[in-house]
Chains A and B, each alone.
Chain A
Amino acid sequence: MKKTIFLIGILLLLLLAACGDDQNEQANGDSDNSDGSDNGEEKTTISFWHNFAGDDLRARTIRDRIDQFNEDNPNITVEAEAIPVDGYRQRISTVAAAQELPDVFFTYSGSFTDQFYEGNLIQPITPLIDENPDWADSFLSSALDIYEYGDEEDIYSVPVAMSSTSYLFYNKELFEENNVQVPETWDELMDAIDVFNEQGITPLAMGNQAPWVAQSTTFGAIADRVTGTDWFMDAVEQNGAFFTDPVFIDALGYFKELVDANAYQEGANSIDNTQAEQYFAQGKAAMMINGSWTISSLASSSSEEVLENIGVALVPSIPEGEGRENTITGGPGGGFVLNKNAEGDVKEAGLELIYYLSNDEAQKEIAESNSMVMYDVDIDEDKVSPLYYNAFNLVRGAEFAPVYDLYLSAAAGEAINNGLQEIMLGGDLEPVAENLQQAQAQSVEEDDDE
């Protein structure tokens, strides 16, 4: 017994000793630092939060650029904090509520940035735009509009990413073997579906277990072609257009046409998106409509042989529809914004950092990490996967259409997601339209109340 107590005592002492050492070292380190800065010129320190914390190519590219910026600018210290994607929104919202936002931070386009503008928490980056007109002009169509706020139409950020959710991927070999052309119109698509069905090949792969897939990848593109973008924007505001309008029922009807033609494999509602991607990559399905995320997940999971056999195109046009033909659902992604309270040297340094992370060179580097950007840049074909290269060039020539659930209220988004599953299970169109209309009308009403 005595021995045990003695041993424990020794252990405790050792622990204490270890802690003491640490503190000493830290103290030493601190004093070293302060000595160093006393000798040099005055340094500007800016705090910077972003969510490029992962191990993927793009995150590493951005982190490398931040390090490079610190090296190139000895008089600026960027205190960067990388926060994992999952918790980023919450962390930023929390510090925003406490008025403790960092000097520069990453934001998502759309309603997330709206909050900062409405809360008067960010300031425009107009000086950058004025100084670098060529750079500002190189962003793809409407890329900067999403960060434009107020009567002055000031620009508050520039996107360093792009979301694009509806590519038509196709299996080149299966198309050649069955003598089918890549469909460019709806009728050609329906013909292709019939041909593949006759051959016992699934025409379109889909994994709609998490029900946003059908909506985000397929229906949004179809609906935009049928109703046109303006109609959708009006319906979102409930401004003279409603989801019970015949034109929207038409759009649902096109989706039902796919279902009725047996375009999707059996049980599409009970496999997930990744399984559907694999199903397609294994050559069991001739086509798949999916987003840009598919490009990176296929690139990391499939052999080069498989990748070379995959072609990419836009969703076929619907000439009878009201909408544009050459569109892809998606739009500008996130960018960096400057804190309202940044002034003087901090503001200068912040602007410099934002420019450094989103200028010509940065956009090129991000693009070459197999990640889509909203910027007109020629990428080196050897540095990226061929599938990505083709998709990127395809999207540069296309126009953007809204992704449904980015504009609808959360409840309405759920309504259309569940409704599309309902249609895939043989349900009627009208109740789906009515549920969606009801959910969206309710949230618009609630917004007006507030």
Chain B
Amino acid sequence: MQNILRVKYLLALTLLPTLLLYTFIVIVPIIWSSYYGFFKWSGMNEPSFIGWSNYMEVVNDPIFWRALKNNLIIVAASVFGQVPIALILALMLRKTSLFQKFVRSAVFLPMVISTVVVGLIWGYIYNPEFGIVNAFLETVGLETWTRAWLSDRSVNMYAVAIPIIWNYIGPYLIIFIAAIQNVPNEIEDAAKIDGANGLKKLIYVTLPMMWTTIKVAVVLCISGSLKAFDQVFVMTGGGPAQSTELLATYMYNNTFVIYRYGFGSAISTMIVIVSLVLILFSQVIMKRKDEGGIGI
């Protein structure tokens, strides 16, 4: 008993520096920023207190809801794009032949490139004049499909989602490969002896053993795509006519382009709230799945 207590104190003591640091660089700024949300402040003059009106304005602004909807498209594209593709690739690439190593590096490569460069590259790919997407469609005789991918409002949200998926498959691939390699050989052998092969082994052995990793990946994916900013900012800046506005670009434009620091702070507080709700929601859903039988 004495021992356990002592370990507890030691744990608390060793965690303290990190905890303090975390509080100062994450928790305090969040509270600070939600506090600024109650002020009218241009960044230069004295802030003046205006109560809840910034928050009310955010909630009543149709652009905020559009930004939220666009952000959910990015979240959906990431969760249903990045995670499954990374999973499939991981299952295919778990051996270490030269070819597989090459494919792995190729998939991971975009992760190493600066996101601004990713935005620029895809901006050129989609370019209505000399972009390769339109050039390709013309060569294969699909002229009617060519369009201005980034300014046509019916497609541009999906067009900006693709580079984001492409950009972040790499890290999930690495995480999943590690998880697969962590599945103990004994279990695989036992499954083999029981007659589980191919698909069956995948569904009843490999995937359940990876389930916690997948859950972590999904949470990372949701929080990551709620923060999505750089690629979209470079490709469209949230335009044209705010049609690709995300929560983060909406916040940026209001704060740093039109100098409404208080309003921008209110938006960032809303982003924190939305993120927490979404992550909670995803946790609840995946917990159900656990009980439903697929889990361990």
A residues near B (Cβ < 8 Å) are 208-211, 265-271, 275, 279, 284, 409-411, 413-414, 418-419, 421-422, 424-425, 427, 446, 450
Whether A418 contacts B242 by the Cβ 8 Å rule is: yes
Asked whether, in the complex, the Cβ of A267 is within 8 Å of the Cβ of B151, the reply is yes
A269 touches B151 (CB 8 A): yes
Residues 135-192 of B contacting A (Cβ, < 8 Å): 147-153, 156
A208, A209, A279 — most chain B CB neighbours (10 Å): A209
Cβ of B110 under 8 Å from chain A: no
Chain A residues near B208 (CB-CB < 8 A): none
Using A270-B128, A271-B128 as known contacts, say yes or no to A425 and B240 having CB atoms under 8 A apart.
yes
- Candidates B129, B148, B149; contact of A279 at CB < 8 Å: B129
Chain A residues with Cβ below 8 Å from B4 are none
Contact between chains at A209 and B148 (CB < 8 Å): no
CA A333 to CA B151, docked complex, whole Å: 34
Contact B258 A269 (CB under 8 A): no
Asked if B240 and A270 make an inter-chain contact with CB atoms under 8 angstroms apart, the answer reads: yes
Q: How far is the CA of A413 from the CA of B123 in the complex (A)?
A: 25
A residues within 8 A CB of B241? 211, 269, 418-419, 421-422, 424-425, 427
CA distance A209 to B240 in the complex (A): 7
Residues of chain B lying within 8 A (CB to CB) of residue A270: 123, 126-128, 148-151, 156, 236, 240
Q: A410-B257, A450-B45 are in contact. Are A271 and B239 (CB under 8 A)?
A: no
B240 near A208 (CB under 8 angstroms)?
Answer: yes
> Is the beta-carbon distance between B129 and A267 smaller than 8 angstroms?
yes
Q: For the complex formed, measure the closest distance between the CB of A260 and the CB atoms of chain B, giving whole angstroms.
A: 17
Q: Is the CB of B237 closer than 8 A to any CB of chain A?
A: yes
B242 partner residues in chain A, CB cutoff 8 A: 418
Of A210, A279, A446, the residue contacting B40 (CB under 8 A) is A446
Contacts of A450 in B (CB 8 A): 45
A419 to B240, CA, bound (A): 9
Instruction: Give the distance in Å from the alpha carbon of A410 to the alpha carbon of B240 in the complex.
Output: 18
- Does B258 contact A410, Cβ atoms closer than 8 Å? yes
B129–A209 contact, CB under 8 A? no
Taking the nearest CB of chain B, how far is it from the CB of A212, in angstroms? 10
Cβ of B84 to closest chain A Cβ, rounded Å: 29
Contact string against A for B residues 227-244, beta-carbon threshold 8 Å, 1 for contact and 0 otherwise? 000000000110111110
State A421–B151 Cα separation when bound (angstroms): 9
Residues of chain B within 8 A (CB-CB) of A421 are: 239-241
Question: Are A211 and B239 neighbours in the complex by a CB distance under 8 Å?
Answer: yes
Q: What residues on A are CB-neighbors of B240 within 8 Å?
A: 208-209, 211, 269-270, 421-422, 424-425
Please report the C-alpha to C-alpha distance between residue A409 and residue B128 in the assembled complex, in whole angstroms.
Answer: 33
With contact pairs A209-B237, A275-B129, A424-B240 given, residues A267 and B148 touching in the complex (Cβ less than 8 Å): yes
Supply 4 further A-B pairs (C-beta < 8 A) apart from A209-B240, A284-B129, A421-B239. Answer: A211-B240, A414-B257, A418-B239, A418-B241
Bound-state CA distance A154–B55 (Å) is: 46
A and B contact pairs by CB, cutoff 8 A, 10 listed: A208-B240, A209-B236, A211-B239, A267-B127, A267-B129, A270-B240, A414-B258, A421-B241, A422-B240, A425-B243
Contact B259 A410 (CB under 8 A): yes
Our pick among B123, B129, B156, B258 for the contact of A265 (Cβ within 8 Å) is B129
A268: which B residues are within 8 A, CB to CB? 151
Contacts of B237 in A (CB 8 A): 209-211
**Any A CB within 8 A of the CB of B253:** yes
A284–B129 alpha-carbon span in the complex (Å): 10
- Whole-angstrom distance between the Cβ of B51 and the nearest chain A Cβ: 15
**Count of chain B residues near A, Cβ 8 A:** 27
Contact with B239, one of A266, A269, A279, A446 (Cβ below 8 angstroms): A269
Mark contacts of B242-275 with chain A using CB atoms, 8 A cut-off: 1 yes-contact digit, 0 otherwise. Answer: 1100000000010001111000000000000000
- For B127, the closest partner residue in chain A by CB is A271
Most chain A CB atoms below 10 A, which of B128, B242, B260: B128
Complex CA–CA separation, A419 to B236 (angstroms): 16
Nearest 3 Cβ contacts at the A-B interface:
A267-B148, A267-B128, A269-B240
Chain A contacts for B253, CB-based, 8 A: 414
The interface residues of chain B lying within 8 Å CB-to-CB of A427 are 241
Instruction: Give B119-131 as 1s and 0s: 1 = Cβ < 8 Å from A's Cβ atoms.
Output: 0000100111100
Complex Cα gap A107–B258 (Å): 22
* Complex Cα spacing A410 to B261, Å: 13
Shortest Cβ distance from B63 into A: residue: A418
Contact between chains at A267 and B150 (CB < 8 Å): yes
Which residue of chain A has its CB nearest to the CB of B148?
A267
A266 / chain B contacts, CB cutoff of 8 Å: 128, 147-148
CB nearest neighbor in B for A419: B241
Q: What residue in chain B is nearest A443 (Cβ atoms)?
A: B258
Contact assessment for A411 and B260 in the assembled complex, using a CB-CB cutoff below 8 Å? yes
In the assembled complex, the Cα of A271 lies from the Cα of B253 at a distance in Å of: 20
Instruction: Report the minimum CB–CB distance from B263 to chain A (whole Å).
Output: 10
Shortest beta-carbon distance, A422 to chain B, in Å?
4
A271 and B129 form a contact (CB under 8 A): yes
Give B146's nearest chain A residue, CB to CB: A266
Bound Cα distance from A268 to B259, whole angstroms = 27
The docked-state distance in angstroms from the alpha carbon of A284 to that of B130 is: 12
Q: How far is the CA of A56 from the CA of B236 in the complex (A)?
A: 29
CA A421 to CA B239, docked complex, whole Å: 8
Interchain nearest-CB distance for B137 vs A (Å): 14
CA gap between A236 and B260 in the complex, in Å: 19
Closest to B149 in A: A270
Query: What's the least CB distance linking A315 to chain B, in Å?
Result: 23
Whole-angstrom distance between the Cβ of A97 and the nearest chain B Cβ: 10
Residues of A within 8 Å of B148, CB to CB, are: 266-267, 269-270
Chain B residues near A275 (CB-CB < 8 A)? 127, 129
Q: Enumerate chain B residues within 8 angstroms of A209, measured Cβ to Cβ.
A: 236-237, 239-240
Distance, CA A427 to CA B258, complexed state (A): 23
Query: Taking the nearest CB of chain B, how far is it from the CB of A346, in angstroms?
Result: 30
Residues of A contacting B236 in the complex (Cβ-Cβ under 8 angstroms): 209, 270
Which of chain B's residues has its CB closest to A409's CB?
Answer: B258
Say which residue of B123, B151, B258, B260 sits within 8 Å of A425 (CB atoms).
B151
Give, as a whole number of angstroms, the nearest-CB distance from A81 to chain B. 24
What residue in chain A is nearest B124 (Cβ atoms)?
A275
CB distance from A101 to the nearest CB of B (A): 17
Distance between Cα atoms of A93 and B15 in the complex (Å): 43
Whole-angstrom CA separation of A268 from B240 in the bound complex = 10
Q: How far is the CB of B231 from chain A (nearest CB, A)?
A: 14
CB distance from B108 to the nearest CB of A (A): 29
Residues in B with CB closer than 8 Å to A413 are: 258
